[in-house]
Structure 1
Amino acid sequence: MDVKTLISQVKEAEARHDLEQLGRRLPALQIRLIRDSADANALGHAISDLADAFTGRFIQLAEASLGPPPMPYAWVACGSQGRREQTVHTDQDNALILARAADREASGYFGELAEQVATGLDACGFVLCSGEVMARNPEWRQPLEHWERNFRGWIEQPERKSVMLAQNFLDLRCIHGKIDLLEQLRRRILTMIRHNAGFMAALAMEALHDRPPQWLPGGRLSRLMRQSPVLNIKRAGIMPIVGLARLLALADGVMVLGTRERIRAAVASGRLSESGGRDLTAAWDCITLMRARHQVHCLEQGGKADNRLDVGNLSQPERRQLREAFKVVRLIQNTTGRRVAGFLLQ
């Protein structure tokens, strides 16, 4: 079954049980896509499009059971779904932007809607967020004015926790509902950011906090030190590029979401050289594809997909590719990334 067919079936599903049955096909779909030589970008878009379809259908079923919503709202996704970079090993990151403050009846309605959607997605393989960054958490189910106050507080007092929250919600994308609510919030956020160099400087420091390792586990040195050959590929490679690309785009006030799109925007603005953009994009493709292939291996072995890559199982060409990709990321962090951070800290 291809992606378009599965999306069509999801949109036509008549009940939660039907969606849960369709959700069981996601691991096999990732295996097929990788075996058919899909690149990491195509895989991310495919799984994210399916997550969007499941989310939208669960919302429609919830509205059918609860009745019409008491006010306009936007169901938004952040994190990898917001950037359209999901794999089958992913959790939920979502929120609700309400048109106005909710009374008790409206609060109950949206609380129940969010609960039905969250548990439905969990049953389909999009597991609950351990940090509760989900619309079922009242903290992330707020009116537009409250969201604006949240961002204002994060931006004006950019402590590390505030910056981490802000950067997660800077990846918001509307999945269902009134998209204008998100667009209004996005415009206000950009205005706040442009007038607060301190926040951008803090965002730059956070983006440079996670760095790829200078050497890979599993080699002679790690064996002598009796260290595990296992590498968390998401933390070591994915997140440093995500943070760097987000920083470079926002430094120019560009609110695009995908990591590849953000790299292109940085090249277009002159923030990043053309060769740097090509190298960083190649590094991104290499690391994300290696992660996806590892997850396929986990699934084919009967296990659950994860981010724990055993470097000892890589071929010599793969190890060389991964080393070179990490080297590119560190280089651009040390040059372009630090240059942006230094300028913002002046």
Structure 2
Amino acid sequence: MRYETAMNHVSFQAIRSASTPGLLRSARLEEQTRLYDRFTSTKIEAWNREAGELQDAVMSRAVSLCEEQFIEEGFGSPPASYAFVAFGSAGREEQTLWSDQDNGLIIGTNEDPEAKTYFDQFGIRLSQILEEAGYPPCPGNVMVSNPLWRKTAVEWEKQLETWREQLGWEQVRYLMIAADLRHVSGDINLSRRLRQSMHEIFEQTSPPEQNLAAAVLRNTVRHKAALNVLGQVITEQTGEHAGDFDVKYGLYLPIVNAVRYLAVEYGINASSTQDRLAQLNELEVVPFRWLESCLQAFHTALRFRSMTSYIEENGSVSGTGYLPQATLKQKEIRRELREALGTVKLMYRTLQRQQRYAERKWL
């Protein structure tokens, strides 16, 4: 066994054997420090994959700790099978080391009302354990503690169908959050079933006014590349981050959202941006040079996300999402950022033309 592999094994063993949320957080922070030390010497794809494996190990152990606590406290074992799933960057396997909570629960069949009470409390407790392990709560409340993201498999399917029928701005946003669903722990068959149901719901034929791809496109083009008409990078103008660049909303999410739209448009059932791009390439529905530029911009976005400033507080690490002004002054960083934003700008010009065409066709 290579030294590097052995180190990973030992570190992950500390995570998997952590007996309390506090010990889990300590093991996580130790492994994060080791991984961060290798950031500049590792390709972003490989580094990002390791970061995802680390986060999955921590989240899986948090689920096990929650079960163990419930058994110790007399609530017993889960009364039905369940799957703990990730959304957001975790669902797309694109986490930073300081990603917050974006998760949910799919629950198997049990008609006993006490089963619902059990999982209601289980979701609340699991969210607390994850927070103790260092994951800040999701600002949008996409968490297992929220009943909207904690449902039986049948309830999930009904909810997806309702969102699909309504297609308001909020419903489309929820559908796109759900589209990033990825299994982390528990009964994988529940996750597979829901992803298949989701794919079938997305592929339903519908009248023009209920066209899902068009609705997703309307939501998508709201985001713009952070470049002004002169090709200059748009930074924050006021506040504590004045002069800094918002990587998440200025670069990363515009790419993610555009590729997600294309995945919906062409019936691609994948949750990660990289897999969606690979499948778009296989389908040959988008020019290869366009996809190549998009992939390069995406890798730049991933790398810059993990270069953003962060805050350590009470043993937890939270990212600000901003690339500091001092970093932006580096010539190479500035060049890469402009190139990536230029690609995003071209992507959105294409999408805006598609939107105008779709609107004229609908009229």
- Give yes or no for TM over 0.5: yes
User: Paired residue for 2:62?
Assistant: 58
Aligned-partner Cα distance in 2 for 1:189–1:344 = 24
Per-residue CA deviations over 1:287-342 (Å, capped at 9, x if unaligned) read 2212212347x77xxx953212234532122212111110111112222x346546
Q: CA offset at residue 26 of structure 1? A: 4.9
Which residue, 317, 323, 329 being the options, matches 2:344? 329
TM score, norm. by length of structure 1:
0.88
User: Paired residue for 1:151?
Assistant: 160
Which residue, 14, 27, 30 being the options, matches 1:25? 30
Matched, 1:125 2:130: no
Q: CA offset at residue 178 of structure 1? A: 1.6
C-alpha contact (below 8 Å) 1:83/1:171 kept by paired residues: yes
Instruction: State the secondary structure of the residue aligned to 2:280.
Output: helix
User: Paired residue for 1:294?
Assistant: 308
C-alpha contact (below 8 Å) 1:41/1:85 kept by paired residues: no
Structure 1: state its 5+ residue gaps: none
Which residue, 210, 223, 228 being the options, matches 2:242? 228
Per-residue CA deviations over 1:233-268 (Å, capped at 9, x if unaligned) read 100000011111111122221111111111111121
User: Paired residue for 2:73?
Assistant: none
C-alpha contact (below 8 Å) 2:143/2:149 kept by paired residues: yes
Which residue, 79, 82, 91 being the options, matches 1:73? 82
Aligned-partner Cα distance in 1 for 2:180–2:16 = 25
Instruction: State the secondary structure of the residue aligned to 1:210.
Output: coil
C-alpha contact (below 8 Å) 1:263/1:281 kept by paired residues: yes
Q: Kindly tell me: are residues 28 and 96 of structure 1, through their superposed partners in 2, closer, same or farther at Cα, counting changes over 3 Å?
A: same
Identity %: 25
Note the 1:252-291 alignment, pairs <5 A: 252-291=266-305
Aligned-partner Cα distance in 2 for 1:276–1:328 = 8
Aligned-partner Cα distance in 1 for 2:223–2:128 = 32
Aligned-partner Cα distance in 2 for 1:189–1:182 = 10
Which residue, 248, 254, 257 being the options, matches 1:243? 257
Q: CA offset at residue 344 of structure 1? A: 5.5
Q: CA offset at residue 279 of structure 1? A: 0.7
Which residue, 116, 119, 130 being the options, matches 1:110? 119
User: Paired residue for 1:134?
Assistant: 143
Aligned-partner Cα distance in 1 for 2:264–2:275 = 12
Aligned-partner Cα distance in 2 for 1:44–1:342 = 36
Aligned-partner Cα distance in 1 for 2:258–2:36 = 29
Q: Kindly tell me: are residues 340 and 102 of structure 1, through their superposed partners in 2, closer, same or farther at Cα, counting changes over 3 Å?
A: farther
- 2:255 is aligned with what amino acid? I
Instruction: State the secondary structure of the residue aligned to 1:128.
Output: coil
Q: CA offset at residue 43 of structure 1? A: 3.0
Aligned-partner Cα distance in 2 for 1:121–1:153 = 30
Per-residue CA deviations over 1:143-178 (Å, capped at 9, x if unaligned) read 112111111111111111111111011101111122
Instruction: State the secondary structure of the residue aligned to 1:88.
Output: coil
Aligned-partner Cα distance in 2 for 1:272–1:115 = 43
Aligned-partner Cα distance in 2 for 1:295–1:113 = 33
Number of residues of Structure 1 aligned to a counterpart in Structure 2: 336
TM score, norm. by length of structure 2:
0.84
Q: Kindly tell me: are residues 340 and 26 of structure 1, through their superposed partners in 2, closer, same or farther at Cα, counting changes over 3 Å?
A: farther
Structure 2: state its 5+ residue gaps: 71-75
Per-residue CA deviations over 1:58-110 (Å, capped at 9, x if unaligned) read 22222223232101111111111111100122111111111236644212322
Aligned-partner Cα distance in 2 for 1:92–1:43 = 20
Aligned-partner Cα distance in 2 for 1:42–1:102 = 44
Name the Cα RMSD after superposition: 2.6
